[in-house]
Structures are given as structure tokens and as C-alpha cells.
Amino acid sequence: MVAVLHIDFSRATRVAMTIESHQRRLFSE
């Protein structure tokens, strides 16, 4: 159970970082 939550958390963090990087790229342009 904890392992599944850990995987979901890491996946959500990675997605959040990707979205943030894309937003910064759009704002920079």
C-alpha cells in the first residue's frame, strides 16, 4: 500500500515539474 502511494507521489511530482517547466517556457516566450 505504501509502495503504491510512493509511486503515485513520485509520478505526480514528476508531472508537476514537467507542467511547471512547460509553463515557464511559454511565459518566457
Q: What is the predicted pLDDT for the residue at 12?
A: 94
**Which amino acid is located at 23 in the chain?**
Q
| Residue 9 to residues 4, 5, 20, 22, Cα–Cα distance (Å) | 9, 6, 16, 20
Cell numbers 513520485 correspond to 10
What is the enclosing helix (H) or strand (E) of 10? Answer: helix 2-28
Tell me which amino acid residue 1 is.
M
Q: Which residues of the chain have pLDDT under 70?
A: 1
Q: For cell 509502495, what's the residue? A: 3
Q: What is the pLDDT of residue 1?
A: 67
Q: What is the pLDDT of residue 19?
A: 95
Question: What distance in Å separates the CA atoms of residue 15 and residue 27, rounded to the nearest whole number?
Answer: 18
